[in-house]
Chain A
Amino acid sequence: MKMLTRRLVIAAAASFLFAGHAIAQDKSIVVASTTSTQDSGLFGHILPMFKARTGIDVKVVAQGTGQALDTARRGDADVVFVHAKPAEEKFLAEGFGVKRYPVMYNDFVLIGPKSDPAGVKGSKDIVAALGTIKAKGSDFISRGDKSGTHQAEINLWKVAGVDIGKDKGPWYKEIGQGMGAALNTASASNAYVLADRGTWLSFKNRGDLAIAVEGDKRLFNQYGVMLVSPEKHPSVKKDLGQQFIDWLVSAEGQKAIAGYKIGGEQLFYPNADDPGA
């Protein structure tokens, strides 16, 4: 009798494990995306609209760009939606993606303490500002996690003539975490940090931080979306995934993106019709 009870318990446990899986099979896709799109609240705004239109559940796994692309390479996501064009093109070249569609852009802003120890506040030149920060050794927080934001930051240092990998000093702190964590750290240690505007606008723990530099064209941040190649990973839900992509670049999807505002301010600017984006 005890043996039967034990077997029933194991069977019940196994069915629990797989029940979640069975439900998931109904019309859902996994999208590997970035913490900036999640933390800004964009997905919370546009995904219900997509579900209402198509009945498809979009499950967003929010990681840094590097990790999101890795997840897609492993076949653990159906669609990847990130903001690092060189990395995305490499992904395509390796054969893991089908096609890249530009979707939207937002911009980065340089956040810093209101006291502005490096004296860069109000500047419209991000490259000059970064050079000043390095020269003065003002505290700077880097995400250090191969995310789109991190890669953009590294590029900007390069344009400023700094090989940040070699030239960093104790003023440069790499935390290896997402945007929210970086902002928390900058807030706690009164340091500068490069952030995407969307996350900054919805960030609540600002402490003594404010926008120091914005508006430089080099701070533009382009997002692209790709279907993971079903040739590399037959388990990819290519029809449902393509529906999501098609919706994002459609007039309805682009309008939904533009309609997302925080405090009356628009965060993301749709540009799916820009072929060079």
Chain B
Amino acid sequence: MSSDVSALQLVLSGDPALFAIVRLSLYVSLCAVALAAVIGIPLGAWIALTKFPGRQGVIVLLNALMGLPPVVVGLAVYLLLSRSGPLGKFGLLFTPGAMIIAQTVLVTPIIAALARQTIEDLWLEYRDELTAMNLGPLGRVAALIWDARFSLVTALLAGFGRAAAEVGAIIIVGGNINGFTRTMTTAVALETSKGDLPLAVGLGLVLIAIVIAVNALAWTARRAGERWAG
């Protein structure tokens, strides 16, 4: 990416390097959110509906994990994926796959904790009806997750926000390799360290614009759904 040119000019001219970076950022963060949802929503639902010893402690821990420091997660995943580490033979370090893994670790507690809260609140309301229908645990979970879908979208957006904004984890496990693992946030970090602040600010604004666009899309979808479903 040429550094004598402002970020706006890059956007308007359709600079391929910039678009590759945007595409990678969205790819990594959206994959992470999808994986985190597949893991986190059922996990949150299960904790919401199941009584087991130490349940309150698990809930406190889950809420606390929402604040996992990204650099620490990055370091931990780095040590796991390094060739000298236990999962080294997959050769995932310094690839987008490693970045997705690190961000999934960061985002899953957010989605699980918010899902747990949402579904637990909903369970209070639905408990009698669902019990009277003689539903098993899977049936209850499925019914509650579907009925909670709008609130769960908000949880997913919170997770996406976290993933799209962070740099500490992905710069460690991705290596910020030009054309391969460089995302919007790592590009901002790099341009800042090179002293090209106008470009860094411009990239930052592009990133914010994209995050707003994603949120606006989800909001529109949610509104349309809610307007129908009442």
A interface residue numbers (CB < 8 A to B): 2, 6, 9-10, 13, 16-18, 20-21, 24-25, 30, 35, 39, 43-44, 59-62, 73-76, 177-181, 183-184, 187, 199, 202-206, 233, 235
Q: How far is the CB of A147 from chain B (nearest CB, A)?
A: 13
Pick the most buried of B38, B90, B97, B196: most chain A CB atoms within 10 A of its CB.
Answer: B97
Partner of B193, one of A16, A17, A21, A180: A180
Does the CB pair A10–B82 fall under 8 Å?
no
Does the CB pair B178–A2 fall under 8 Å?
no
Pick the most buried of A30, A177, A178, A204: most chain B CB atoms within 10 A of its CB.
Answer: A204
Separation of A177 and B192 alpha carbons in the complex (Å): 12
Closest to A47 in B: B178
Say yes or no: A10-B97 contact (C-beta < 8 A), given A184-B192, A206-B195. Answer: no
Does the CB pair A205–B195 fall under 8 Å?
yes
Separation of A75 and B34 alpha carbons in the complex (Å): 31
Does the CB pair B195–A75 fall under 8 Å?
no
* Besides A20-B95, A59-B177, 16 other A-B contacts (C-beta < 8 A): A6-B38, A10-B38, A13-B35, A20-B96, A21-B95, A60-B177, A62-B176, A75-B82, A76-B83, A177-B193, A180-B192, A180-B194, A184-B192, A203-B194, A203-B195, A205-B196
Partner of B197, one of A6, A35, A204: A204
**Is B92 positioned at the interface, with any CB of A under 8 Å from its CB?**
yes
Separation of A62 and B31 alpha carbons in the complex (Å): 26
Q: What chain B residues lie within 8 Å of A2 (beta carbons)?
A: 142
Query: How many A-B contacts if CB must be within 8 Å?
Result: 97
The secondary structure that dominates the A interface is: helix
Closest to A3 in B: B138
Q: List 12 A-B contacts (CB under 8 A).
A: A9-B38, A17-B92, A17-B101, A24-B95, A35-B193, A43-B178, A62-B175, A73-B84, A76-B84, A76-B94, A179-B193, A180-B194
Does the CB pair A9–B83 fall under 8 Å?
no
Q: What chain B residues lie within 8 Å of A181 (beta carbons)?
A: 192-193
Closest to A39 in B: B194
Does the CB pair B83–A74 fall under 8 Å?
yes
Does the CB pair A13–B178 fall under 8 Å?
no
Q: What chain B residues lie within 8 Å of A76 (beta carbons)?
A: 82-84, 93-94
Separation of A10 and B34 alpha carbons in the complex (Å): 9
Separation of A44 and B179 alpha carbons in the complex (Å): 11
Pick the most buried of B85, B90, B180, B192: most chain A CB atoms within 10 A of its CB.
Answer: B180
